[in-house]
């Protein structure tokens, strides 16, 4: 759907618009409405990617088109230039407000404005679709929990001796449901934060009076927000694949020392860890450090653990490396950060967990990182664990076979 509706009651302005589009070979098709009434008829019969309308239409005005738009972005063009009209239009939901001039400069920026409006609409539609998929997942999981609860109740009636165990299982199911509700509320906030940054600063870039320095600052914020949003989506995709057992492994021979050197170079040059000293410990010589496993998955797990270590260590050291035995290689990430209270250590690898709550508010995040690490390590035939003391730091370790003999990868 690459056709937009152009609404203009002034014949001279329509001719100027058509002449401009023919001369510039704009990629979008358009349909012209010569009046407010004709625009309404076209909107009720067809769908358009964008509506571009003059403010005053004789038999109506552009603001009166809102009930017929059904979510289609509206760009208003006017020669009046009233700030009150512009503010009112934006409050009602107009995407942009362009001022006519004798040199037709507004027509020059119109294609860019239309393209941005389409991109914004597509991004919002994708977000709504994603939210709908999340809601479907919650409904599905809730239905599963309700079925489990019914089964537990039946077993309680049949086997009185197992009452204590069944009550405990029901309590865990309710806790899981509560955690998922809290997770959805948190993930909604985590997604909105970078998305608002992207949308807000993208719109600011459309203003003509922004200098180059401000443009660079806004673009940097948009880039960081995009990276943050992409990271959240990647975490959700990973945990979904782990839950549905759709993780595919790719085994090959690679050198552990070279992999850790690459990771060390990245973090030692990363600005976010400038107050944290990064140290690397390697047990084997380079010619002894070859293993047969999934290099990318090991890289992902170590990155997640180091990211957490740097995130929860304001000042101090983060030490990572490995120890080797005949059949297994054991990686570790050690930090001098805030540590994890003993009461939370048993559930730290569970899905949707963030502990303690004060850390969640202070440091943010989805609470999926350690669950993903656990799922990937176990998929590679290994195990993961931690040693931690509150306010004294944490050490995470995971062990995998040096030569994986599984045949189903």
Q: Tell which phi-psi region holds residue 359, choosing left (phi > 0), alpha (psi between -120 and 50) or beta.
A: alpha
CATH number at residue 280: 3.30.565.10
User: 78 and 199 share a domain?
Assistant: no
pLDDT at 97: 83
Domains contained in the chain, number? 3
Q: pLDDT band at 324, cuts 50/70/90?
A: very high
Across 161-183, average pLDDT: 65
Residue where a domain stops, chosen among 100, 133, 160: 100
pLDDT at 396: 96
Residue where a domain stops, chosen among 225, 243, 261: 243
User: 11 and 151 share a domain?
Assistant: no
Domain of 11, in residue numbers: 3-100
Q: pLDDT band at 407, cuts 50/70/90?
A: very low
Using the predicted structure, report yes or no on whether residue 360 has a pLDDT greater than 50: no
User: 264 and 355 share a domain?
Assistant: yes
pLDDT digits (tens, 9 = 90+) for 53-82: 888 888 888 888 988 988 889 998 887 666
Mean pLDDT of the chain: 81
How do beta strands 316-324 and 328-335 pair? antiparallel
CATH number at residue 212: 1.10.287.130
CATH number at residue 20: 3.40.50.2300
Structure tokens, 277: 């000293």
pLDDT at 195: 73
User: 264 and 323 share a domain?
Assistant: yes
pLDDT digits (tens, 9 = 90+) for 84-125: 777 787 888 888 888 877 666 778 888 888 888 888 888 888
Report the alpha-carbon distance of residue 407 to residue 298 in Å, rounded.
19
Answer yes or no: are the C-beta atoms of 406 and 273 closer than 8 Å.
no
pLDDT digits (tens, 9 = 90+) for 386-404: 999 888 899 999 999 998 6
Q: What angle do CA 282, 390, 393 make, to 5 degrees?
A: 20
Predicted TM-score (pTM) of the model is 0.49
User: 327 and 279 share a domain?
Assistant: yes
User: 392 and 262 share a domain?
Assistant: yes
Q: Tell which phi-psi region holds residue 321, choosing left (phi > 0), alpha (psi between -120 and 50) or beta.
A: left
User: 321 and 363 share a domain?
Assistant: yes
Using the predicted structure, report yes or no on whether residue 362 has a pLDDT greater than 50: no
Using the predicted structure, report yes or no on whether residue 384 has a pLDDT greater than 90: yes
User: 73 and 137 share a domain?
Assistant: no
């Amino acid at each position: 759907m690459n056709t937009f509706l152009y609404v203009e009651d002034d014949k001279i302005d329509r001719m100027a618009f058509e002449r401009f589009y023919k001369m510039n070979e704009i990629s979008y098709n358009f349909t012209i409405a010569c009046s407010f009434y004709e625009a309404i008829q076209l909107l009720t019969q067809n769908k358009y990617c964008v509506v571009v309308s003059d403010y005053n239409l004789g038999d109506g005005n552009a603001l009166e088109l809102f009930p017929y738009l059904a979510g289609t972005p509206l760009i208003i063009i006017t020669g009046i230039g009233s700030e009150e009209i512009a503010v009112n239009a934006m409050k009602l939901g107009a995407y942009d407000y362009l001022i006519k001039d004798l040199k037709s400069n507004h027509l020059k920026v119109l294609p860019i404005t239309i393209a941005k409006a389409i991109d914004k609409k597509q991004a919002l539609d994708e977000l709504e679709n994603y939210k709908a998929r999340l809601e479907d997942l919650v409904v599905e999981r809730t239905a599963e929990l309700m079925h489990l609860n019914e089964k537990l109740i039946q077993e309680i009636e049949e086997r009185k001796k197992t009452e204590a165990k069944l009550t405990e299982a029901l309590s865990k199911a309710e806790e899981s449901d509560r955690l998922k509700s809290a997770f959805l509320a948190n993930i909604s906030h985590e997604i909105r934060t970078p998305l608002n940054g992207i949308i807000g600063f993208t719109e600011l870039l459309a203003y003509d009076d922004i200098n180059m320095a401000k443009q660079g600052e806004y673009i940097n914020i948009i880039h960081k927000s995009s990276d943050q949003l992409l990271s959240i989506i990647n975490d959700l995709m990973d945990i979904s694949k782990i839950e549905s057992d759709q993780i595919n492994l790719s085994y090959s021979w690679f050198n552990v020392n070279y992999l850790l050197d690459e990771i060390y170079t990245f973090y030692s040059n990363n600005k976010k860890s400038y107050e944290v000293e990064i140290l690397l410990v390697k047990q084997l010589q380079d010619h002894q450090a070859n293993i047969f496993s999934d290099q990318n998955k090991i890289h992902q797990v170590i990155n997640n653990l180091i990211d957490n270590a740097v995130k929860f260590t304001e000042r101090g050291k983060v030490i990572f490396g490995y120890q080797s035995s005949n059949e297994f290689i054991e990686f570790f990430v050690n930090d001098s950060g805030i540590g994890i209270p003993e009461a939370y250590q048993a559930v730290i690898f569970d899905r949707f967990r963030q502990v303690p709550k004060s850390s969640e508010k202070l440091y943010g995040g989805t609470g999926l990182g350690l669950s993903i690490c656990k799922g990937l390590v176990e998929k590679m035939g290994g195990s993961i664990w931690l040693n931690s003391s509150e306010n004294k730091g944490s050490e995470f370790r995971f062990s995998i076979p040096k030569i994986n003999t599984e045949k189903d990868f």
